[in-house]
A and B are shown apart, each in its own frame.
Chain A
């Protein structure tokens, strides 16, 4: 290639990068990469690079979330058996609520349907499962399928209006549905004779272990398994086919529709499947408490859940879990504080909503953006447009010659600017081609050696014998045609040559 005499137009990422866990493997070692069973995914998204500074071989990990999940959930699993009975109970409740919130996040985040009927689905499925067990004698291992089935049916009904009603209206509708469910259940005396509750439900926890430590531990381990199952469901829906379809739709609805993605259908599917999962959780909820009461439909319970996902950050499973952890700790862990707990939860929620764009899980990215913005503002204040390369940019430019070219280019431009005089322009106008004065030759030679993107050319319009001319600018990319600079037509070649010259002089003086 001809040597690039002027800096290429490119933007370089400058400043600090995100920290990556870095290993230093050897190229002669065999790397056996494990995969998550039944998938093509690797356990960790390791990235092999040659360190651009040292060319040392490195294996880096940018996405550390799998590690955080393992540490967080693993810690909970290992630590809980050593906690007090009350704390074990709190941990179990945390797991159940987390599971609900993770699935709810699928509905709100992945499907983008703002439904508040979550607890209604959980509750109705719970009642159905409890009733099936208590009145129809369905054994407890079948309660969860019953719950899931009821959840699916309810989800199907609730999904119908979701494409008709927008955001807030749909939320109000679902809130109404929740209330209807509560009233409905409380009115059916046959179903729940005692204050709308069904008690004495069978469970995976043997009746004599109830409220005993083994029972509590079993409850916790089961709830933990429920949370893992919910996370698996989240992963399967959010990161596989359905989720990817919806991700495309979120980026550009019209475009994804044009490429044949039926994102409305995908939304409904996510909603229905999530409702089924909520139904199963409802059944689990009943088994865990061995009873169910109307409190499950209560508005304050729903709002508490809502606070959890708002604090954690909408749309992400880790947000749902972290938010749940915080609120459960406050609500269940600080029982002695009494009603003050609700005020604290509210305060945290307001604090997060006011300061963070997307809950606590978004805080790091938000801070990073803020810091980068401040840094680039400071850099911008220090540098001159089109000037020399900043040190922090130079470290990122692989071809160091470009750094020199930019410096050289700036200086040559500064010198040539002083050469531009009315006489020089008149000289070019009189004779665009051929031998010129030294000053004009230098100016022209600088122009002619310019980089290809936006370099000027002339368009001949019409037949050669009766042509006029326009000014073009090259794209600099193979196969990408030049663009017409303006609509001015020039009658002769010499006028067109001079028009290009004037444009270039203008660019030089403006730089």
Chain B
């Protein structure tokens, strides 16, 4: 039997009951799969908890779903819109661009091409497998080329041009280094002679490869019997302003072009000004042709826009300050933001469907896939909302840490634990990266999208590098506990919060976060603040939340962007001058660096992480104050809270947050409980380290702890923060009968009632503390 594989994704992720969504599925080694709608209740199979729990839900989804193999185009590139085929076989022509290659050599890469790889027809300006700039042409019978004399220096800017004289077949290749003090990896002190000017008489003239072969940036067109047309010869690196002129430009014109970058005089066919179309609030996927014909190019798989260009002079550190210096477009040969699969199923969910986390379960004899999605209430009725961290799910989607991150084992203090399914998925290398991974040229991945199969949102998935559930599978522990407690709740997602702002929260009396609300947009922070100001109640029950400045492009919620900057626990670091989100124009990095530390909103913020073991919380003196003592009903004064749990055996751990007035914790916040005894595998986070000195681990540094804080806001609002990822994962312990659950129940019973909160009257000066 052939190996069976099922992969799929849902679009959109979050719908209201009664709305429509589509499922895109690819099956290999099978023709049909069993399909069943399920409600996900619990993910973690840890025997200390309830195990995996799902409920089958009747729906109009057919029991059998026909599937076939669907192919995925990886790699970022751009397609020129050329309806009149002006870029086909231009006779005499000159093609030019500013380029900065990050990975020259090994495989052939096409930078600008109207090239049919299969037929060997057309022309292309690219990089040979030896890492040299090369201009190649073909007529379908023979391919000929002219190559630069020396290989390209990686991560250095060049102006490159090739001209072809159709009468004499003389090709002139020009390569001019344009490295300045700022724009490249190396600077002017390196005595490279970047230039190369080669003239050769070729044996063929390019033939028109036809309409099916588009003019491409960063790739060339290829065809396969099963797959049809796709793009190969993908390029890794930057391309700045580029163009094509219908004549052989004189050498001095080319030299002048290399100095100015502005559109040359003459028979311009296209001149793409990569800096055109920028706005203060972001950049789209269209590369604007300012030439006479408007042959705009459309980016596929989100080429990264607004990056430093060939003429970057370092003073402006954002495309918003001087777009003309930010014409760089970064292409990655392994970028993926949309699989573009055909939907196998488009269904309308029943209007009466309960809000919750659902999945389309697909099964065959040899494979299983869960495609999760989120259903909100059509009209909110419950008093409690659970905010599912869909931004975080995207950020970690398909992370490769166990395989590719050298330091992952040192961070987690774990040996990774893989399954056959993990290995099979990783082997494919087909479904893109997370914002924790590096592209093949070593640069960080800043985009993550839900329009692709995502292994680690499967409900039973355990993150290999840590051997435990992470994000959605871990968040289901809270869902199980709410179900088990009989509390009436509905769910929301980060995307809903981002789109609707405080309106999404307003119907609810209390909103509770999941384990790891790490990625937040400005809209989301604003909404949370406004909600608290308006009397809303927030239970921030997670670790390392409100951390990274993230964004979505308007109208494209599937793809999230983040730039990891100079501080924080960062899997990578954006290159200088590239810290602003292309999709919104705002500075990315930590919210803390932009004046919005999480302490300011919920009282606690990230302080340490470790994946070896978790600890319990211990009550702090504030917890005995009558303002909050009701939260601890049934919990003894010395009782350890959460010395158990599915998250490494404790309620305080994995990623932990602390109270800090210096970072903006509200001055009236109470410190209810804290954790002790973390190991040295919990080092203080790097944004807290100004001077480095020994002893910043859990056994020596008092800042390494998880805190529970509480403060009230206007209009009977309140915020309880439990700064630990492991907290929710302790809830299902002993079938929910435990002191973590009891604490949560005490809090929720009060929070879900309107009006004044218990203990709120105890605000006078006190001589006695009890």
Contacts and interface: CB of A to CB of B under 8 A. Distances in A.
Interface of A: 1-5, 25-33, 35, 40, 46, 48-50, 54-57, 59, 433-435, 441, 444-445, 447-452, 455-461, 463-465, 469, 472, 474, 478-482, 493, 496-497, 500
Nearest to B404: A478
A434 B191 contact: no
Contacts of B438: 1
Contacts of A49: 150-151
B197 A452 contact: no
B613 interface: yes
Contacts of B613: 433-435
B258 to A, nearest CB: 12
A434 B679 contact: yes
Given A40-B144, A48-B150, A458 B417 contact: yes
A48 B149 contact: yes
A458 B149 contact: no
Given A433-B612, A457-B415, A482-B418, A27 B196 contact: yes
Contacts of A55: 190-193
Contacts of A33: 146, 198-200
A32 B146 CA distance: 11
A30 B149 contact: no
A5 B406 contact: yes
A463 B699 CA distance: 36
Contacts of A31: 149, 196-199
Interface string B419-435: 11001001111000000
A95 B585 CA distance: 77
A500 B409 CA distance: 13
B361 interface: no
Contacts of B427: 479-481
Given A457-B418, A460-B418, A32 B199 contact: yes
29 contacts: A1-B438, A1-B572, A3-B406, A26-B193, A28-B197, A31-B196, A33-B146, A33-B200, A40-B144, A48-B149, A48-B150, A48-B151, A50-B153, A433-B413, A433-B612, A434-B679, A434-B681, A435-B613, A447-B409, A449-B406, A450-B409, A455-B409, A458-B416, A461-B420, A464-B45, A478-B404, A478-B440, A482-B418, A496-B417
B23 interface: no
B426 A479 contact: yes
Contact of A28 (B146, B195, B199, B572): B195
A194 to B, nearest CB: 54
Given A2-B407, A456-B415, A40 B198 contact: no
Given A57-B193, A434-B612, A457-B417, A25 B409 contact: no
Contacts of B414: 433
B467 to A, nearest CB: 7
Nearest to B251: A30
B405 A2 contact: yes
B199 A40 contact: no
Given A28-B195, A32-B200, A4 B406 contact: yes
B746 to A, nearest CB: 31
A436 B85 CA distance: 69
A441 B680 contact: yes
Nearest to A33: B200
Contact of A459 (B144, B198, B419): B419
Nearest to A451: B406
B344 interface: no
6 closest cross-chain pairs (CB), A and B: A27-B195, A48-B149, A435-B679, A448-B409, A57-B193, A448-B410
Contacts of B196: 27, 31, 48
Given A57-B193, A474-B403, A35 B200 contact: yes
B83 interface: no
Contacts of B423: 459, 481-482
A89 B403 CA distance: 73
B486 interface: no
Task: Indicate the member of A55, A59, A435, A472 with the most B CB atoms within 10 Å.
Answer: A435
Interface residues of B, number: 64
| SS of B interface (majority) | loop
Contacts of B748: none
Contacts of A448: 409-410, 413
Contact of B415 (A445, A463, A500): A500
Given A46-B149, A447-B409, A456-B415, 17 more contacts: A1-B438, A1-B572, A2-B407, A26-B193, A27-B194, A30-B198, A31-B198, A48-B149, A50-B151, A55-B192, A433-B612, A460-B418, A478-B404, A479-B429, A481-B427, A482-B403, A500-B415
Interface string B425-455: 0111100000000101010000000000000
B405 A464 contact: no
B627 to A, nearest CB: 35
B47 interface: yes
Contacts of A457: 402, 415-418, 464
A27 B198 CA distance: 10
A445 B429 CA distance: 29
A469 B420 CA distance: 12
B516 interface: no
Interface string B452-484: 000000001010100100000000000000000
A478 B429 contact: yes
A27 B197 contact: yes
A5 B405 CA distance: 12
A500 B413 CA distance: 13
Contacts of A57: 150, 193
Contacts of B47: 465
A458 B418 contact: yes
Q: Which of B47, B462, B612, B699 has the most CB of A within 10 A?
A: B612
Nearest to B145: A40
Contacts of B203: 40
B445 to A, nearest CB: 13
B193 A27 contact: yes
Contacts of A478: 400, 403-404, 429, 440
B192 A50 contact: yes
A465 B417 contact: no
Nearest to B153: A50
Contact of B417 (A2, A59, A460, A480): A460
A342 B460 CA distance: 86
Contacts of A452: 403-404, 406
A480 B424 CA distance: 10
A182 B197 CA distance: 62
Contacts of B198: 30-33
B653 to A, nearest CB: 11
A62 to B, nearest CB: 14
A456 B613 CA distance: 21
A460 to B, nearest CB: 5
A54 to B, nearest CB: 8
A464 B150 CA distance: 55
B51 interface: yes
Contacts of A482: 403, 418, 423
B695 to A, nearest CB: 12
Contacts of B417: 457-460, 469, 493, 496
B415 A2 contact: no
B760 interface: no
B686 interface: no
Contacts of B151: 48-50
A25 B149 CA distance: 10
B201 interface: yes
Given A48-B149, A482-B418, A30 B199 contact: yes
A29 B176 CA distance: 12
Interface in B679-737: 679-681, 698-699
Contacts of A480: 427
Contacts of A5: 406
Interface in B166-196: 172, 177, 190-196
B127 to A, nearest CB: 15
Nearest to B571: A2
Contact of B45 (A27, A461, A465): A465
